[in-house]
Amino acid sequence: MSLDVIGAGMGRTGTYSLKVALEHLGFGPCHHMAEVNANLEQKELWRAAGQGQLQNWDLAYAGYRSAVDWPTAHFWREVSDHYPDAKVVLTVRDPEAWYDSVAQTIGLMMDTAGNDPQSFGVAVVGNGVFGGRFNDRHHAIAVYEEHNATVRATLPPERLLTYQVS
CA distance 95 to 141: 6
- Residue pair 109/122 in contact (Cβ under 8 Å)? The answer is yes
pLDDT tens sequence across 78-122: 999 999 999 999 999 999 999 999 999 887 776 655 556 557 777
Degrees to nearest 5, angle at CA 114 with 38 and 103: 70
| Domain harbouring 77, CATH code | 3.40.50.300
- With contact defined as beta carbons under 8 Å apart, do 93 and 166 qualify? yes
Query: Per the structure, how many domains does the chain have?
Result: 1
Q: Print the domain residue range for 93.
A: 5-164
pTM exceeds 0.85: yes
